[in-house]
Structure 1
Amino acid sequence: MPTSRSYGDACGIARALDVVGERWALLVVRELLLGPQRFSDLRRALPGASSNIVADRLRELEGHGVIMRRRLPPPAGSQVYELSERGRELEPAILALGVWGVRVPFPPGPTTLSATSVLLYLRSAGRPDPASAPAVIRLELSGNVWTVRAAGGRVDVTPGEPAQADASLRADPKTFNDLLDDPAGLDAAVTGGSVDATGDLRALSLLLRSVADQASAASQGAC
C-alpha cells in the first residue's frame, strides 16, 4: 500500500525525502527523465521492484505532483507516466547523486542496468569535438529506440526514431555501457554478435570516444 510516513522534520531536505525518499521512488523518477514511459517499461527497467511496489510509488509520486499520467493518442492508446514540471526540477539532484555514487562500491551479486541509466551517462559525459560534423545515431536498447544527436560539443538524447540516421546500433544496456568505457571493443562486439551496428561506424566510434575521453580522468560507467 502507498505510504504516508513522514520524518516530521521542518527542514527542506526532510520534507523533500517525505516525497521522494521511499525505496524505488527516485529510481522511478530517473527512468522518466528522458521521456514518458509505460508501466511495463518501468517494470522492465526496475526488475528488483514488484509490480505492487512500482504501482505504489507511481501513486505516491502522482499524489505529490511529481509525475502525471496521460493516454497516448490512437493508434497507440497506451497510458504513460511522465514527469511534471515539479518532477523535472529533480533532475540536477538525481544526476548529482549519480556522480557521487560512482565512487561507491558495487553491490554484491548480480546487478541490473537500465537503458535510461546508460543514456543519462552518455548525455552527461559525452563531449564531442565541436569542430566535428554533426551526427545522428539510432540507438536501440532493451527494445526501445532513441535518437542520439552529437553536435556543437554536446550530446542530446530523445526517445523515438530519428527521421534520418548516420548510423544505427542495437545492444543490451550493459554491453553499450562497456563500449562507452572501451570504444576500442566496438569491432570485436560487432564481429561477436553482441552488437548490431550499421551505417557510418566512424561516426558511432567518435560518439563512444567522446564519452571515454571525458571519463578517462574519473570513475567510469553509468550512474
Structure 2
Amino acid sequence: MPTTRTYADSCGIGRALDVVGERWALLVVRELLLGPQRFTDLRRALPGASSNLLADRLRELHERGVVARRTLPPPGAAKVYELTDWGRELEPIVLALGAWGLRVPAPEPSTLSATSILIYLRGSLDPGHRTFRVELDDRVWTVSSRDGETVVTQGQPEHADGSVRTDPRTLNELIDDPAALPDLVAAGRAETHGAIGYLFTSRRSP
C-alpha cells in the first residue's frame, strides 16, 4: 500500500523527502529523466522492486504531482508515466546525487539500466556534429549534439552517422575502454554500423 509516513519536519529538506524519500522513488525519477516510459519498461529497469511496490511508488509520485500519466496516441495507445514540470526540476538534484555516489563501491551483483548508462554517456561523451543510433534492451535512442550539449532522446534518428546495438553493461565497458570495441563486436556482444567508434573516443571536457 502507498505510504503515508512523514518526517514531520518543516525544513524544506524534510518536506522534499516526504515526497521522494521512500525507497525506489528517486530511481523512478531517474528512469523518467530521458522521457516517458511504460510500467513494463520501469519494471524491467528496476528488477529489485516488486510490481506492487513499483505501482505504489508511481501512485504516490502521481498524487504528489511529481509524475503524470497519459495515453500515447494511436497506433501505440500505450499508457506511460512521465515527469511533470515540477518533477523535472529534480534532474540536477538526481544527477548531483549520482556524481556523489560514484565514490561508493558498486554492489555485487547489481543491475544497470539503459537510462542510467545513457545519462552517464550524456555527461561524458561528445557526439560532435554527428548523430548516433543506440539500441539497448530492444529500445532505440538518438544521441546527438545541440547547442554544445550532448542530447539523448527516445526513438529513431532521421539519419545516423553510426549505430550500436548492445546491452547497458557492454555500453558501459565501451565508454570506459573504447579500444575494446573490436573485441566486443567479435564476441557478439555489440553490433555496430558506420562511424560509431567516434562516439566512444570523443570525450567531453571536464
- Residue 100 of structure 1 aligns with which residue? 100
CA RMSD of aligned residues (A): 1.4
2:197 paired residue among 197, 205, 214: 205
Deviation at residue 142 of structure 1 after TM alignment: 1.0
Equivalent in the alignment of 1:123: 122
Any idea what SS the aligned residue of 1:2 has? coil
Question: Deviation at 1:153?
Answer: 4.2
**Mapping for residues 1-223 of structure 1, pairs under 5 Å:** 1-107=1-107, 109-127=108-126, 134-150=129-145, 153-200=148-195, 204-211=196-203
Residues 18-66 of structure 1, C-alpha deviations (whole Å, 9 max, x = no match): 0000000000000000000000000000000000010000000000000
Q: Could you say which residue in structure 2 is the equivalent of 1:220?
A: none
Size of the aligned set, in residue pairs, is: 206
The code of the aligned residue for 2:158 comes to A
Deviations along 1:75-98, whole A, 9 cap, x unmatched? Answer: 101000000000000000000001
List per-residue Cα deviations over 1:105-138 (Å, max 9, x = no partner).
112x31100000000011112245xxx5x11111
1:37 alignment partner, SS class = coil
Q: In the TM superposition, what is the alpha-carbon distance from 1:154 to its structure 2 partner?
A: 2.9
Letter of the 2:115 counterpart:
T
Deviation at 1:149, TM superposition (A): 0.6
Identity of aligned residues (%): 60
CA shift at 1:103, angstroms? Answer: 0.4
Structure 2 unaligned blocks of 5 or more = none
Separation (CA, whole Å) in 2 of partners of 1:210 and 1:94: 25
**In 1, distance between residues paired with 2:201 and 2:64?**
40
Report if aligned partners of 1:67, 1:81 keep a CA contact under 8 Å in 2.
yes
The change in CA–CA distance for 1:157 and 1:190 in structure 2 (over 3 A counts) is same
Is the CA contact 1:150–1:207 (under 8 Å) kept in the aligned structure 2? Answer: no
> What CA distance in whole angstroms lies between the structure 2 residues aligned with 1:18 and 1:56?
14
| 3-state DSSP of counterpart to 2:42 | helix
1:173 CA drift (Å):
0.1
Deviation at 1:152, TM superposition (A): 5.8
The alpha carbon displacement at 1:214 in A equals: 5.0
C-alpha deviation, 1:6, in angstroms: 0.2
CA distance in 1 between partners of 2:130 and 2:74 (Å): 32
